[in-house]
Every structure is written in C-alpha cells, then in structure tokens.
C-alpha cells in the first residue's frame, strides 16, 4: 500500500463482531475467561485492549515497522526505552532536545546510574568519538525542538552500527512525522513520538508511541510497557486513531503554511534569524532535503530586539496564534522556550546552544495563511 492509503487502512480490520468500520471504544479493564487461561486473546487492559491494539497496528504500519506501542504520554514512551538499560550504561543524545526529554534523562535516569552525553549531532564524529564499551543507546531528535537542527539519520546510524551493531539508535520523530521521514527505513531501531502532537493532531489527548521492526526488541518493549503500566487509554486510542487517518492531509497544509510563514519572517525587519529547514540558508537544508519529503510546520525565530520584554510583547499580542505549550494540532500555537517548554534546562546549557529570551517557536496550524500572516504582522508591529 502507498503511504496515503496505509495512513487510513494500515493494520486495520473491521470489528469482527459487528463489522463496525471504526473500532469501538472498548472501555473495559478486563475480559471474561471460560476457564483459567481460556480467553479470546485479551486478559487485562494493561497488557492489551482492542481499541489500543487497533491504534498500535496503525502506528506500526505508518512507520513501516512490525510493532507499535501506545503510551499515556510521549515521556512515558521515552521512559520505556530508557528502562531497557542498566546502571552503568551510557546514552549519547543530541544537545538540543525537548525540555522534558532533557529532564527525564538528567533528573530521573541519571540517578539510577545511566550516563548521558549531549553532543551536536551535526557532526557524526561527535557521536562516534563518544562511543565506548558502555554505550547502549543513541537518542536523536530531528528536527530538534526548538532550534530545528537536522541530524543525518542514515549517516549516523551507519557510523554507529559499523562500530557496534548492538548499540540501539532511536529517533524522536515527533516534529517530522512519518509523512515526512520514516527512520526505520533508514536503519534505526526505534521510532518514538509524542503522539500528543501531529499524530493525534487535534490537541485533545496526551500520548506516546514507539515503533520497531525487530521481534526481540518488540517483546522487550512490550514487557516493559506491560510491567510498568503507562498505557494509552481506550478513549485516547480511539481519538488518536481518528487523528492519524488525516495525518497526510494535515501535514500537506502544515508544510505549505510553515514555508509561507518562514518566508515572511525572513524578510521582516524586526526578525534577526529564522530556524526552518526548508530555507536555503538553514545550515542543514541539504540533509533535510535528502531525508524529508517536505519541511513541516514548526518554525522558530529570534527578534532583533533581544530583550525578554520584546518577546513578551509579541507573545501577548498574537490573536490567531494561541500562546501555549505543545504543537502539532490543527490550530496555530506560539511558545516561548526559555520560560515555557525548555525552562527546565539550566540557563548556561540553554545559552550555550542559542536558546535565548528572544527565541520564539511557532507551531503553524492549518488555518488560512492570510490570517496567519496578518496576525504575525500585527503582533510584530506592537
């Protein structure tokens, strides 16, 4: 099946008992057994639930994986991957990550004996030079949140696997979605999503996803998901599956609008710098062109006036763009990383990579582009 068909039908079947085209919301915690161990494949909803199974099959299908797993949030999906590791193991991660990812690494798992190295993923030797016998996981986020850096997934995976095939490579594919790039096809082991964002697409649920194509790895992750219990609810699974079915159409518009917003901001006299991989001036534009179908709807920029006051004036004055954390929904959002999504990262670390008070992140929605540009224009004129 082609991607646009898979998005709708991949891993799906009509409900076997009624023919329902969409899976019912199986709002049940448990399942009747006729004799101990005699059941219809479902025992207890922490292990599996038919609505979640339908979604997990769709997740696997859209990333060209064999298994998908749905969690109660993106961070619980990350938590599941980290629980595969043992004290003393080391992780090499990008230096620009969602603030919550940085926090779970440094404030949760470091204390259980994992060691994290944060490197600029633009240079593959930064990764290969940090690999030692304890390295177990490479954590990529591309495009990164919020600086929109692009890592060359294929080149990095090849270099890592040449050194040691047992090192897992995981890609947080939240910003790109499988519409734009499919990391499992490029050799990585695990794809992770905050499905709260584009996969759900409507800002009405919290969810995480993992997709893999290796049977043994799938078994291990399923065991952790079952044993730890941070599963997605039946209702959220239903909503996410409904959202996934329009991902390709939404992403087309997100990309069109994202491109138009970036082009507008580049020429604005009050704007110092625009971070969007679709711009020829973006340092990773060529890599983005190689591995992504298009460039997405996330755009960050810095104002020339570097004061927090100038940023706040803009943030307080947008009308169509809502000031809020999160991204990837149909509606446009605006976010101030230093005080909102990335406030958890210590200031010196933030400043080292360029997350300053003048940085503003836009999640460009699928509204009419004229209204979006008009809104930016009026807010920038304040």
| 73 lies in the site for ligand P1T, by CB under 6 A | yes
The nearest distance, CB 133 to ligand P1T, in angstroms, is 29
Residue 34 CB partners (closer than 8 Å, separation 6+): none
| 181 lies in the site for ligand P1T, by CB under 6 A | no
Residue 152 in contact with residue 306, Cβ under 8 Å?
A: no
How far are the Cα atoms of 82, 141, 272 from residue 129, in angstroms, in the given order? 22, 19, 34
149 as an active site residue: the answer is: no
Q: How far is Cα 97 from Cα 118, in angstroms, rounded to an integer?
A: 9
Question: Which two tokens mark 30?
Answer: 């448990």
- 3-class secondary-structure state, position 78: helix
The nearest distance, CB 163 to ligand P1T, in angstroms, is 26
Nearer to ligand P1T among residue 50 and residue 74 (C-beta): 74
| 100 lies in the site for ligand P1T, by CB under 6 A | yes
Nearer to ligand P1T among residue 148 and residue 274 (C-beta): 148
172 as an active site residue: the answer is: yes
Q: How far is Cα 84 from Cα 228, in angstroms, rounded to an integer?
A: 12
| 208 lies in the site for ligand P1T, by CB under 6 A | yes
- Provide the phi-psi class of 153: left if phi over 0, else alpha when psi is between -120 and 50, else beta: alpha
Q: How far is Cα 200 from Cα 219, in angstroms, rounded to an integer?
A: 25
| 246 lies in the site for ligand P1T, by CB under 6 A | no
Using alpha carbons only, give the angle 38, 70, 120 rounded to the nearest 5 degrees.
145
Q: What is the 3-state secondary structure (H, E, C) of 245-286?
A: CCHHHHHHHHHHHHHHHHHHHHCCCCEEEEECCCCCCCCCHH
10 Å CB burial of residue 281 (0-12, 13-18, 19+) is exposed
213 as an active site residue: the answer is: no
The nearest distance, CB 334 to ligand P1T, in angstroms, is 11
Q: Of the residues 152, 172, 189, 357, which is catalytic?
A: 172
Interface characters, 76-95, with ligand P1T (x: CB under 6 A): --------------------
Interacting residues with ligand P1T between 335 and 364 (CB under 6 A): 335, 341
Nearer to ligand P1T among residue 12 and residue 326 (C-beta): 326
| 196 lies in the site for ligand P1T, by CB under 6 A | yes
Number of residues that bind ligand P1T (CB under 6 A): 19
| 98 lies in the site for ligand P1T, by CB under 6 A | yes
Residues interacting with ligand P1T, by CB under 6 A? 73-75, 98, 100-101, 141, 145, 172, 174, 194, 196, 206, 208, 325-327, 335, 341
Q: What residues are annotated to the active site? A: 46, 98, 172, 197
């Amino acid at each position: 099946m082609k991607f646009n068909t898979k998005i709708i039908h991949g891993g799906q079947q009509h409900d076997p008992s009624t023919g329902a085209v969409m899976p019912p919301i199986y709002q049940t915690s448990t399942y009747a057994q006729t004799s101990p161990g005699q059941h219809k494949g479902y025992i207890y909803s922490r292990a599996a639930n038919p609505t979640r199974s339908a979604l997990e099959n769709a997740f696997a299908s859209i990333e060209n994986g064999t298994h998908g797993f749905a969690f109660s949030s993106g961070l619980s999906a990350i938590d599941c991957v980290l629980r595969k590791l043992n004290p003393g193991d080391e992780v090499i991660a990008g230096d620009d990550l969602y603030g919550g990812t940085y926090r779970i690494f440094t404030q949760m798992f470091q204390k259980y004996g994992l060691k994290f190295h944060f490197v600029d993923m633009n240079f593959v030797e930064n990764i290969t030079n940090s690999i030692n016998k304890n390295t177990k996981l490479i954590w990529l986020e591309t495009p990164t949140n919020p600086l929109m850096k692009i890592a060359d997934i294929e080149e990095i995976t090849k270099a890592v696997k040449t050194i040691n095939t047992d090192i897992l490579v995981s890609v947080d594919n939240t910003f790109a979605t499988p519409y734009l790039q499919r990391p499992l096809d490029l050799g990585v082991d695990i794809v992770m999503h905050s499905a709260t964002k584009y996969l759900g697409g409507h800002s009405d649920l919290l969810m995480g996803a993992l997709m893999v194509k290796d049977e043994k790895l799938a078994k291990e992750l399923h065991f952790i998901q079952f044993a730890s219990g941070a599963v997605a609810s039946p209702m959220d699974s239903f909503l996410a599956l409904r959202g996934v079915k329009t991902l390709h159409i939404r992403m087309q518009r997100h990309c069109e609008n994202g491109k138009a917003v970036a082009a507008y901001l580049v020429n604005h006299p009050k704007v110092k710098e625009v971070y969007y991989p679709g711009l020829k001036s973006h340092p990773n534009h060529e890599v983005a062109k190689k591995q992504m179908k298009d460039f997405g709807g996330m755009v960050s920029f810095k104002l020339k006036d570097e004061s927090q006051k100038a940023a706040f004036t803009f943030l307080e004055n947008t009308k169509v763009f809502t000031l809020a954390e999160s991204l990837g929904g149909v509606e446009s959002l605006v976010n101030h990383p230093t005080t909102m999504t990335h406030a958890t990262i210590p200031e010196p670390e933030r400043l080292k990579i360029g997350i300053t008070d003048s940085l503003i992140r836009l999640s460009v929605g699928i509204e009419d582009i004229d209204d979006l540009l008009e809104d930016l224009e009026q807010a920038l004129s304040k």
